Amino acid sequence: MASLLTTPSYLKGNSMHHRLPTLVYIFCFFLSTMQPPAQAADITVFQGATIIDGRSATPLRDAVLVVEGAVIRYLGTKSGYTVPAGARVVDLTGKSVIPGLFDMHVHMGITEGHEISADLYNQARIQRDVQRHLAFGVMHVVSLGFDRQVIFDVREAQRKNASPGARIHTAGSGFAPVGGWRTPVPPGATKDTDWYNRPESVDDARRLVRKEAARKADIIKVWVDDGRGQYVKMTPEYYGAIIDEAHKNNLKVVAHIVYLDDAKDLLRRKVDAFAHSVRDRMVDNEFLQLAKSYGFTLIPTLSGQRMYPDYAEENTAHLSHPRLAKIFGREFLEELRKSTAERARNMPTLASARQQFDVAMENARLAVKAGIPLTTGTDTGVPGAFPGLGVHREMEYLVQAGLSPAQAIQAASLNGARLLGIDNKYGTLEAGMVADFIILNADPTTDIKNTREIFAVWMEGKPVDEPQESRDAVDAHGAPAQ
C-alpha cells in the first residue's frame, strides 16, 4: 500500500505530504511543528490555465485558481487577485483544468487479469479499483448493485482518510425479482454472482429497502429487465413500493431498463435515474415530457453498451493511453485486446448489442435536445472495461449525442454530484468547493478527447501520485472477503 513519493516536477522544492508512509508523515509533521509557521504555507496559486468550472458554458482563460488546504478559495481573473506572501505559485500557462469526474455506474472488485468471478470480490480489489479510477481523475464512483458488506467498510475507511482512491458510493445489493434478472455472465467468467435483494412480497421489498437504508447505502438499484424474454421481470407493484420506500428514507433510485414502456412507468413513479438508455425503440414525446417534469437524470452508459462491438471491430485506439499502460503493462493490454476481440466476435448477442447501442445513442440525442440532464456511467467492472478511462470515453459519446464539450464535462461532474446530492461540496470549481481537479495538457473545449491528456490529478488540494504498476497490488489468489 505504501508508495514511493513521486513529487511532480512542477512542484519540486515544495513539501508535499500526500500519501507518505505514516511514519514518515508523522516525522514530517513533528519537523514542521518545530519550525516557525511559514506564511501562507498551505496556499497554492495556479496561474494561467484555461478553466472549465463544471457550471459555465464558456471557459475562463488565463485564470487564477487558489487552493488553501483542501478547499478552493478563489477562482477568477488575475486582475482581481493579489498573491499572498509565502504562497506557492504554479504556472499552468497552456494547460486546462476541469473538475474531478464522476462515474455513476460501476461495479468493483470482481476482476483479476482476464478473470471475473464473485470469488475475487474483496477489500483489496475494491481499494485497487478506486485507485485506478482516481488515476484518470475519477473522484466519485457509484457501485450499482453487486456489493457486500466489505464495501461499506472500505467507504468508512475512506471517510477517515485511511484509504485513498475515488470516493465510494454504493447501492449495496440491488433489487431483482425472485426467479428474475441475473446479470449475464461475461465470457470468461468463472463464477456468477447472486448478491441481489430478491423480495418475496411487496412488504418484503419495503423491508429490504429499509435494511439498505440502515446500512447507509447511498442509492437504491433496481433491475427492470427480462433479459430478452428469459426472466421474470419486476412488476410495477414491486418497483413502485421500492421507489416509494426509498424516497421515504431519503434515498434515490436508479433503474436498469431496456424497454420504453417500463421506462415510462418508472418515470410516472418518479424514479431518479436510469442506468442505461431505452434500448428497444425510440423514446416518444410522453417519455421526454415525463423525464423533464421533475429532477430525473439519464445515465445512458453508452461506452458500456459499445464495449464488445468496439473490441470486435478493433476500435480500441483509446486503450493505448499511457496511464493504462503504466497500470496494466503493455503486454497484458495487448493480450487482453486480442482475447476480448476474439470473444466479442463469437458472442451470440453481439449484433443485438450493436443495435441496442444505436438506439441508445439516438435516444440520448433526443434527451439532449429535450434538455434532460445526463451524467456519465460506464458499467466498468468486467475485464476489458477499464476503471477511470471509461468516463473519458463516455464524455466523447455524450458529445456525439449533441452536448458541447463543456456540457459533457458538466455531465461528468456537476450532474453526478447533483444526483448524489453532494453538489454543495463537489462537482464544480468554485470558491468554497473541495479542491478536486484534473490538470490537462490540452484544451478539452476544442476536442473532448483532450480530457485524456492528463498532466496531473489533484484531490482535496493535494496532488495524487502518478499511477504505478499495480497488478501485484492484490494477491491474485487472495482469499475473498467474507
Residues in contact with Zn ion by CB under 5 A are 379
Minimum distance from residue 397 beta carbon to Zn ion (Å): 16
Minimum distance from residue 221 beta carbon to Zn ion (Å): 8
CB 294 within 8 A of CB 270: yes
Q: Is 333 helix (H, G, I), strand (E, B) or coil?
A: helix
Minimum distance from residue 379 beta carbon to Zn ion (Å): 4
Minimum distance from residue 276 beta carbon to Zn ion (Å): 8
Cα 23 to Cα 44, 144, 161, distances in angstroms: 25, 36, 16
Cβ distance to Zn ion smaller for residue 379 or 453: 379
Minimum distance from residue 382 beta carbon to Zn ion (Å): 10
- Contacts of 236-241 with CB under 8 Å at 24 or more apart are 236/265, 236/269, 237/202, 238/175, 238/177, 238/199, 238/202, 238/205, 239/175, 239/266, 239/269, 239/271, 240/269, 241/202, 241/205, 241/206
Minimum distance from residue 228 beta carbon to Zn ion (Å): 16
Beta-bridged to residue 50, according to DSSP, are: 96
- Closest residue to Zn ion, judged by C-beta, is 379
Cβ distance to Zn ion smaller for residue 108 or 368: 108
Amino acid identity for residue 141 in this structure: V
Place of cell 519537523: 31
Residue 268, phi then psi, degrees to nearest 5:
-60, -30
Cβ distance to Zn ion smaller for residue 379 or 443: 379
How far apart CA 267 and CA 281 sit, in angstroms, is: 17
Cβ distance to Zn ion smaller for residue 129 or 379: 379
Beta-bridged to residue 63, according to DSSP, are: 49, 77
Nearest residue to 300 (alpha-carbon basis) of 187, 168, 196, 415: 415
Nearest residue to 174 (alpha-carbon basis) of 205, 140, 138: 205
Cβ distance to Zn ion smaller for residue 49 or 144: 144
Residue 364, phi then psi, degrees to nearest 5:
-65, -40
Cβ distance to Zn ion smaller for residue 385 or 429: 385
Minimum distance from residue 169 beta carbon to Zn ion (Å): 14
Cβ distance to Zn ion smaller for residue 147 or 436: 147
Beta-bridged to residue 462, according to DSSP, are: 459
Minimum distance from residue 450 beta carbon to Zn ion (Å): 28
Cβ distance to Zn ion smaller for residue 186 or 463: 186
